[in-house]
Structure 1
Amino acid sequence: MTNLNKVLKERFGFNEFKPGQAAILEALIAGQNVVGILPTGGGKSLIYQMMGSLRPGVVLIVSPLLSLMQDQVGRLNFLGEAKAIALNSTLDQQTRTDVLRHLGDFHYIFVSPEMLTNPSIQRALRQVQINLMVVDEAHTIVSWGPDFRPEYLQLAAIHAQLNSPQLLLLTATATQKMLASMLTVMQLAVQHTKIVRLSVNRENIY
């Protein structure tokens, strides 16, 4: 069994996990698809960062906002992880072409759902080993997808086209109805999916 606390300390400098983090990691290591509903500040990004340290292959993170992608790449760079990139509109065509040619060299790839529908990006991703596919801010699948970002509704089909890598959905915002809708859109059977839900109430906020 992987010593998660040892990796947490040596790689990330923390002495203990926040609530929910270890349960999600253990489920992922066991091979389950997971939905993690943790409060803001609950350390959701550390979960997929750790999975990138625990297993080989690319961690593919579907992220809704350009600023969020850039922030996460910057945090990984700060931790000494140089092989992280955001595949988005800030890359010129030549840089994007070069990145796609060497996609397997990266450990963490952040991408918007719109960019993920690009056939050339899908072709490149099918050539690499995907450690984990993460949908960050996963409530946007149902809160944005039906209205103005329909690409979110294509994620299940894209996931299948990428050879169905293990899935991790992360959010701080999901009612029971939203959770059920997320599972339906992503074609995840509830009996085969680990749900880790913590209260989003924070004592310091009224």
Structure 2
Amino acid sequence: MGVRDGFGLRARRLRAVARKVFGWRDLRPGQLEAMRHLLGGGDALVVMPTGSGKSAVYQVPALLLDGPTVVVSPLIALQRDQVAGLREADAGGAVAVNSAQAGTEASLESVRAGRTEFVFLSPEQLARPETVERLRAARPSLIAIDEAHCVSAWGHDFRPDYLRLGQVIERLGHPPVVALTATATPSVREEIVTALGLSDVRQIVRGFDRPNLDLEVRRFVSQEDLRRALVEDAASRPGLGLVYVATRRAAEEYAAAL
């Protein structure tokens, strides 16, 4: 009964913060389950589709835990978006520490001094011992690892510094950790748990079905036929789009054709 009451209290506190700070009237079941576990001191692995609110899983409990939140995010553009959103929500302050951002020392000092709740870094930034020591002095209360599938076997060549995050987590005192990804097979999920050293971990998998996406396969006899059809199709579509190709040279050729 006591455990159930504790869960209920955590849920009420989380919902209150989500509503007051972020304006979210309700939380999705997977979000709330992960938030509640983090607030109770455990680690979580969250697999949810892109656009389903994975960031909320760390943003809301962060405001109920005493200490800054370290967010590992591999792309500078994503860091900027998250920082802008948190500043707009007036959610305790947010800074990014990356190669394109000036004032790294001032940003880390604001985190250490308790003036900033969220600090976004790339895994490469956390490969620097001096950065880890500055964060350690700030006594973080929560760590969020975005694109966590990069620690798996197939992701090593992409961002190898993800492999060192388990050591960084321990160096920072292993506060509650949430690993976030849009898709991960059972074996990749186990790799994530092991590589990051997650403990008392709750795995929350909500699938990756995207009803708004369609898949179509078209076969071509020659490479030239494929090239012509792709260019015509891409050029005829309204709005923005992405064309994925296998090489840099192909990217340049298609860009020129389009």
Which structure: greater strand fraction?
A: 1
Cα distance in 2 between the residues matched to 1:10 and 1:81: 10
Q: TM-score, normalised on structure 1?
A: 0.91
2:111 aligned to 100, 103, 107, which one? Answer: 103
2:75 aligned to 53, 65, 68, which one? Answer: 65
1:29 aligned to 39, 42, 45, which one? Answer: 39
Using the TM superposition, give the Cα deviation of residue 7 of structure 1 relative to its aligned residue in structure 2, in angstroms.
1.9
1:42 match: secondary structure: coil
1:193 aligned to 197, 201, 206, which one? Answer: 201
Matched, 1:79 2:89: yes
Matched, 1:114 2:129: no
RMSD: 1.6
| 1:28-66 C-alpha deviation (Å, 9 max, x unpaired) | 112110001111111011121102221221110000101
Count matched residues: 202
Opposite residue 199 of structure 1, the aligned amino acid is: G
Stretches of structure 1 that go unaligned for 5 or more consecutive residues are none
Stretches of structure 2 that go unaligned for 5 or more consecutive residues are 1-8, 215-258
> Per chain length, whose mean CA-contact separation is higher, i.e. which structure has more relative contact order (CA < 8 Å, sep 6+)?
1
2:138 match: secondary structure: coil
2:141 match: secondary structure: strand
Cα distance change, pair 173–120 in 1 and its aligned pair in 2 (3 A): same
Matched, 1:44 2:62: no
Structure 1 stretch displaced more, 118-127 or 1-10: 1-10
Cα distance change, pair 137–148 in 1 and its aligned pair in 2 (3 A): closer
Cα distance in 2 between the residues matched to 1:87 and 1:135: 15
Matched, 1:132 2:142: yes
Cα distance in 2 between the residues matched to 1:203 and 1:85: 35
Using the TM superposition, give the Cα deviation of residue 98 of structure 1 relative to its aligned residue in structure 2, in angstroms.
2.3
Opposite residue 151 of structure 1, the aligned amino acid is: D
Q: TM-score, normalised on structure 2?
A: 0.74
- The answer to whether the 8 Å contact 1:144/1:150 transfers is no
Cα distance in 2 between the residues matched to 1:34 and 1:90: 30
